[in-house]
Amino acid sequence: MDQPLDIVWSRPLPEGALPSTVTVSQDAAGRWFVSLLVEDPAVQPLPAAGSAVGIDAGLDHLLTLSTGEKIANPRHERRDRARLARAQRDLARKARGDGANRSKARRKVAKVYARIADRRRDHLHKLTTRLVRENQTLVIEDLAVRNMLSNGKLSRAISDAAWSGFRSMLEYKAAWYGREVIAVDRWFPSSKLCSVCGTMQKRMPLGVRTWTCDCGATHDRDVNAAKNLLAAGLAVSACGAGVRPQRESSRTGQSVTKQEAPRREP
């Protein structure tokens, strides 16, 4: 082929940047990707921000922040997922059919899946950049989202990918900008603790979206969890930068893993 390629840039190249590595790949939907690794001189640690935030991954919303803000899934995702389910049923029906129809159905599934993944990635990029800019300390749950979801393998795969994508973006951007990401052990009972009085509820079934503690505080389930994560993360952070990553008995519910962005010496 000697025609110029019809290229869609994910973002402009930094001025004067020379790629040191070029990677070419193709996804299941048949699209080609060229990734360029460049050193971006514009990436500098940001001035320290005073604030810290707890981030809870949820079912109803993509994320809930300790500030009370809820961040929804990308627009169109519900419709795209329905489309994906239809394409998959189609593929399953054609499983015993002829090869040409089957591979057409398979490409269709891959295409819808790729669009969902693209929109997700875009959404997560904007979100993580904003969170890292606004906060000095970001506390997340060291979480296997898989355990929280029960609505089918596919939705699970998408949510798992979204969470690990979110986490890795958050971590590398925090490293770029001199921020700190703290991951709280996934056994920490963030949903069961009252963030006001610290009392632990015996049960907190997934269906319960709001509840009232004996102390009188009424909680949104996810906001309360995000507040507890923040408090647990800050408790570790207060132990100082010398704390080594640690995992203690999960019985205490206090075990945390500390991760710190590399600091630039003044």
Residue of 77, 141, 180, 185 marked catalytic: 141
Nearer to Zn ion, 56 or 180 (CB): 56
Q: How far apart are CA 39 and CA 219, in angstroms?
A: 45
Contact 138, 58 (CB under 8 A): no
State the residues that interact with Zn ion by CB under 5 A.
Answer: 194, 196-197, 199, 213, 215, 217
Residue of 80, 171, 185, 222 marked catalytic: 222
Work out how close the CB of 191 gets to Zn ion at its nearest, in angstroms, rounded to a whole number: 13
Contact 195, 40 (CB under 8 A): no
Say whether 77 is catalytic.
Answer: no
Q: How far apart are CA 217 and CA 197, in angstroms?
A: 8
Work out how close the CB of 219 gets to Zn ion at its nearest, in angstroms, rounded to a whole number: 8
Work out how close the CB of 223 gets to Zn ion at its nearest, in angstroms, rounded to a whole number: 14
Say whether 40 is catalytic.
Answer: no
Q: How far apart are CA 256 and CA 186, in angstroms?
A: 9
Nearer to Zn ion, 35 or 199 (CB): 199
Q: How far apart are CA 128 and CA 158, in angstroms?
A: 18
Say whether 56 is catalytic.
Answer: yes
Nearer to Zn ion, 71 or 196 (CB): 196
Smallest CA-to-CA distance from 66 within 49, 82, 52, 85 is with 52
Give the active site residues: 56, 141, 222
